Every structure is written in C-alpha cells, then in structure tokens.
C-alpha cells in the first residue's frame, strides 16, 4: 500500500506539465507541435526562449523534489520509497494521462529526484551535464551520460539494491527517449546549444 501511495503521489505531480501550460498561456500553442515535439525545458528554450525554458526546468525539478519530500516526511523509515515517488514523477512527466501520454523526457525531474534524495549525487550530475553539454554542444548527450552514471552513484552511496534497480529503469527509459536526438545528431540535424543561443540573440 505504501508503494501504491508513493507511486500515485509521484505520478500526479509528474502530470504538472509546465512546458504545455506555458506554451498555452504565453504563445497560445501546444509546445508538442513545435521544435522537437517534446514537452520539456530544452524544447521550450528553443521555441520560446531561455526565460521560459528556465521556468519550465525549475517546475519540473521542483515537482520531483516535492514528491520525494512528501514521501520522506510520511515514511521516515524507508530509503526506497522516495525512489518510487521519484520514478513515478518521471513517468507522469513522460507519459501524462491528461495529455494523452505524450509529455517530455524527464531530465529535469530526474535531477529533482536525486536532489531531494542525495544532494551530493545531484551536484555531480548537474556539473557533469553542464560540462558534457558544453563540450559536445548537445544536452541529449549530457543527459545520456548522467543517467548512465546515476545507478552506479546510487550503488556506491550504499542505497538499497531496489533503489539501484529503479535508477537503472530510469536510465533505460531516458536513453530510449533520447534515441531520436542521437539519430538527429548523427545526421547533423539536431539543434545544439550554440545554435540555440545564436537564435535567441537575433
């Protein structure tokens, strides 16, 4: 029952789609019909600008933080249930029931989950994604690297094996969602960080 409650809280919070809401309120558009068709912070940045991209990222981070903190407050004796809440925030973000199961890719929510569970690991992931994105020019590559690091970091930090398995599932889901980005990068069709910055300066 505790797992079901943690999952329900996480999934419902995950359905809070900042990208979709901002698109409708500010531009009167469905963000999923523009850019790379993704309801996430990176696409909002490309389509609507850095200001709205940052707002989207913060909301997507905070909904995972809130879900984890709620579960930690309810069940202080479990180091596993926060991971359940976290993965279901991500699932709610990627597959939102209120938007026909077509959402974002969950990167910001992954960072939010880890930030609430173990800020030390979150700092490593944030620094890593920034550095790798700058070096490669693609946030998709940075994301793939950090989600691959996540299960290893959770294991080294001595969290329960169930938590490691949850993080492996998160990594597989995230990598799968980024396959189209990788294909576009190979074909040189993906919009990189530098191009996004140049576009918004014009």
pLDDT digits (tens, 9 = 90+) for 14-49: 999 999 999 999 999 999 999 888 898 888 988 888
d(CA 19, CA 59): 9
Give the model's pLDDT for residue 199. Answer: 60
pLDDT along the chain (202 residues), means of 10: 95 96 94 88 87 94 97 93 97 95 94 96 95 93 96 96 96 95 91 72 50
Give the model's pLDDT for residue 42. Answer: 85
Give the model's pLDDT for residue 201. Answer: 52
Give the model's pLDDT for residue 35. Answer: 81
> Do residues 18 and 60 make contact, with C-beta atoms less than 8 angstroms apart?
yes
Which bin fits 137, alpha (ψ -120 to 50), beta or left (φ > 0)?
left
- What residue spans define the domains of the chain? 2-201
d(CA 150, CA 112): 13
Give the model's pLDDT for residue 30. Answer: 94
Give the model's pLDDT for residue 36. Answer: 81
Phi, psi angles (nearest 5°) of residue 49? 115, 165
> Do residues 147 and 174 make contact, with C-beta atoms less than 8 angstroms apart?
yes
């Amino acid at each position: 029952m505790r797992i079901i409650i943690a999952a329900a809280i996480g999934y419902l919070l995950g359905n809070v789609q900042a990208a979709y809401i901002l698109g409708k309120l500010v531009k009167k558009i469905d963000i999923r019909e523009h850019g790379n068709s993704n309801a996430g912070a990176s696409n909002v940045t490309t389509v609507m600008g850095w200001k709205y991209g940052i707002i989207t990222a913060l909301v997507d981070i905070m909904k995972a933080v809130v879900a984890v903190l709620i579960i930690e407050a309810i069940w202080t004796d479990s180091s596993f249930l926060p991971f359940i809440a976290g993965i279901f925030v991500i699932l709610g973000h990627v597959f939102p029931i209120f938007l026909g199961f077509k959402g974002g890719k969950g990167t910001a929510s992954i960072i939010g989950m880890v930030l609430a569970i173990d800020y030390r690991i979150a700092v490593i992931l944030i620094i890593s994604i920034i550095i790798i994105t700058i070096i490669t020019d693609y946030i998709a590559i940075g994301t793939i690297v950090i989600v691959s690091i996540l299960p290893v970091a959770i294991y080294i930090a001595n969290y329960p094996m169930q938590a490691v398995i949850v993080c492996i599932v998160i990594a597989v889901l995230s990598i799968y969602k980024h396959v189209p980005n990788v294909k576009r990068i190979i074909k040189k069709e993906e919009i990189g960080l530098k191009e996004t910055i140049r576009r918004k300066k014009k």
